[in-house]
Structure 1
């Protein structure tokens, strides 16, 4: 149950930040510009670096499969390592957050831009996926070895 609550909260935060971005930043505009991070409103109909741009059928299919697989893995591992189950939960929340955009808008709203090196503009859902993958790696390389 805690995993479902976490998914709901993370998807809500993702959607609220995206709504705020659309309401307060013009498309392509950058605000809060500083040497570390800025906010730039971008509509991305691909993946990172606009890979697979416009291939919505691909993203729909992959996301539906991911939701089913991740949900099953969370359920089956719910009593195992917290690193694994929280990692899977974070990845699932991120996948759902971006899926909502793709279904509703046909693109994903991105806004966070790292200024000190070339990195794609990203959103809260992407952060959830990244943190989730890090948790899964910690489980695989450190925790699972102990079991």
Structure 2
């Protein structure tokens, strides 16, 4: 039983820090390559890298209310740490899902604490501009939802 818990914890930590690293490295790249508002065409009419500063949450909601997002991020991280510490029936897939979400939350949290806004740059032209952390949060949440659906069936 202890071995399974160690593997699950290792999965959580590995995925969390992998997602966090990808997010932060991608943001450093964008900041070094582009000026705010500048766009680089990757696939014409489909995908651009566009550097913006997002002072709000998803879709720019609650702009300049950074303290709310910092509080919610810390609350989420504490909840996940409690789950991974005390919920021993978890599996590696649950650990991976929580790791993706946590890595994304930590990536945006670092931006908010350090800069007061989040660096966004993934621009598909039909959706608000977002970043790698948002991909990890959304993807992890979707996978978690599917995992929970599967466990109910």
User: TM-score, normalising length from structure 2?
Assistant: 0.86
> Could you tell me which of 9, 16, 41 is aligned with 1:7?
16
Question: Unaligned regions of 5+ residues in structure 2, if any?
Answer: 1-9
Q: Is 1:63 aligned with 2:76?
A: no
Give aligned pairs, total: 143
Alpha-carbon separation, structure 2, partners of 1:11 and 1:78 = 25
Alpha-carbon separation, structure 2, partners of 1:90 and 1:5 = 10
Residue number in structure 2 paired with 1:145: 152
Question: Unaligned regions of 5+ residues in structure 1, if any?
Answer: none
RMSD of the alignment, in Å?
Answer: 1.5
Residue number in structure 1 paired with 2:6: none
Contact in 1 for aligned 2:104/2:133 (Cα 8 Å): yes
The C-alpha deviation readout for 1:38-96, integer Å capped at 9, x for no partner, is: 10000001012210100011011111100101122233446523332211111111000
> Could you tell me which of 99, 102, 109 is aligned with 1:89?
99
Contact in 2 for aligned 1:86/1:135 (Cα 8 Å): no
Contact in 2 for aligned 1:43/1:107 (Cα 8 Å): yes
User: TM-score, normalising length from structure 1?
Assistant: 0.90
Alpha-carbon separation, structure 1, partners of 2:47 and 2:147 = 30
Residue number in structure 1 paired with 2:121: 111
> Could you tell me which of 104, 109, 124 is aligned with 1:99?
109
Alpha-carbon separation, structure 1, partners of 2:100 and 2:21 = 13
Q: Is 1:19 aligned with 2:19?
A: no
> Could you tell me which of 112, 130, 135 is aligned with 1:127?
135
The C-alpha deviation readout for 1:8-55, integer Å capped at 9, x for no partner, is: 121111111101101101100110252221100000010122101000
